[in-house]
Amino acid sequence: MSKVPVIVISGFLGSGKTTLLLRMLREAAAFQLLPAVLMNELGKQDVDGHLLQEASPDLNLAKLLDGCICCSKKSDISGSIKQLLMRKPDVILIELTGVANPEEIVDALTEPALLPHVKLHQVVTVLDAEHVLEYNSIFASDRELVHTLRRQMEVADLLLLNKTDLVTDKQLKSIEKTVRKSNERSLLLHTTHSLFDLNFIFGGLSSRQQQPSSSLVFNKNMGLQAVKTIKEPNKTAERPASFSRIQTLAIPIEDDRLITKRSVELYLAKWRKTLLRAKGYLRIGNGDKREAYLMQFAGNRTHWQPTAFQGTPYLILIGLDLDRHSLEDDWNNYQ
């Protein structure tokens, strides 16, 4: 069974995420895609979920309300996604809350219950051109939030500089310059009302599809807005469609292999610059003394927690532009 691609929509509160999602739902059929949606909202009452259901009454929708997709909600994510998978969608769209770090959902997708069923396709981050430059000073006292907003930019595969109707050209140039300090490699498009050619994210996803040509979709919607690509457009646009800069490498581990906590930690320390995150279910020790652990590596710290996990041990590595061969080879030589 092939894995269902997941598109993550991130961006600060009010930047235009739901506007984008509604458009993606409207146009999915033109790409012969049956979408499912996971909405995450901070409040108990969801507003956006109702909006989506109004626009698309049969929508395969799951909601995670009253909290951010972070540690406290992670356990619910696999349940929600499994529920969506029952209706066999071609693509799953996840709209995060404005204060979520996309890395956390990517992490959740690598849980044993989900790993065989889904794969990250792209992280799209929507930026509010009118306010994005103010965040650092507005939230200066909240370093965690400033960090999250920076990560939203840094890990995006596609950046939408939205609400360009509300800023001058001069301001736009200065915004671009600042955004590029956080992410100089990914495609960056100027948009109003999150309008752009959806081939950039849907293109190539459907196995059944005859894709609308880029210009068709573009012309149909573009009375409003020109698509503009900044820096290295071709390099990024030519990437295979199912490629996200955030990559996940799952390394299965032969059960008879001797692994120690120290050897794992040394390996992770060696690769810490490349890795955003790592985790794994590992059996540590020798013979009868072997014990299963959930290993979590985040922010350069490794945490070990005993677990009742009985499956095949594995290590998950998450990072930007991972050098898969080197990581695998090194792991095999390391222990």
Ligand X SMILES: Nc1nc2c(ncn2[C@@H]2O[C@H](COP(=O)(O)OP(=O)(O)OP(=O)(O)O)[C@@H](O)[C@H]2O)c(=O)[nH]1
Residue 10 interacting with ligand X (CB under 6 A): no
Tokens of 332: 């095999």
Q: Is 16 in the site for ligand X (CB under 6 A)?
A: yes
Stretch that binds ligand X, among 55-63, 138-146, 159-167, 262-270 (CB under 6 A): 159-167
**Nearest in space to 280 (alpha carbons), one of 331, 316, 256:** 316
Selected binder of ligand X within 11, 35, 212, 319 (CB under 6 A): 11
CB of 223 to ligand X, least distance (A): 14
Is residue 18 near ligand X by the rule CB under 6 A? yes
CB of 187 to ligand X, least distance (A): 18
Point out which span in 26-34, 82-90, 108-116, 161-169 binds ligand X (CB under 6 A): 161-169
Instruction: For the CB of residue 58, give the shortest distance to ligand X in the complex, in Å.
Output: 22
d(CA 211, CA 220): 14
Considering the complex, what minimum distance in angstroms separates the CB of residue 48 from ligand X? 5
Q: Is 14 in the site for ligand X (CB under 6 A)?
A: yes
- 321 torsion bin: left (phi>0), alpha (psi -120 to 50), beta (else): left
From the list 268, 264, 283, the residue with the least C-alpha distance to 335 is 264
Question: Could you say whether residue 102 binds ligand X (CB under 6 A)?
Answer: no
CA 63, CA 45: separation in Å to the nearest integer?
Answer: 10
Question: Counting contacts by CB under 6 A, is residue 192 touching ligand X?
Answer: yes
Using the rule CB under 6 A, is 17 a contact of ligand X?
Answer: yes
Instruction: Return the residue of 48, 66, 111, 328 that touches ligand X, per CB under 6 A.
Output: 48
- For 174, phi and psi rounded to 5 degrees? -70, -35
Tokens in use for 113? 């219950």
CA–CA dist 175, 169 (Å, integer) = 10
Q: Return the residue of 15, 78, 110, 183 that touches ligand X, per CB under 6 A.
A: 15
Give me the DSSP letters along 123-141. EEEEEETTTGGGHHHHTTT
Q: Is 101 in the site for ligand X (CB under 6 A)?
A: no
Segment holding 36, helix H or strand E: strand 35-40
User: Which one, 15 or 152, has the nearer CB to ligand X?
Assistant: 15
Residue (of 148, 194, 265) closest to 21 by Cα position: 194
User: Which residues would be at the binding site for ligand X (CB under 6 A)?
Assistant: 11, 13-19, 48, 98, 162-163, 165-166, 192-194
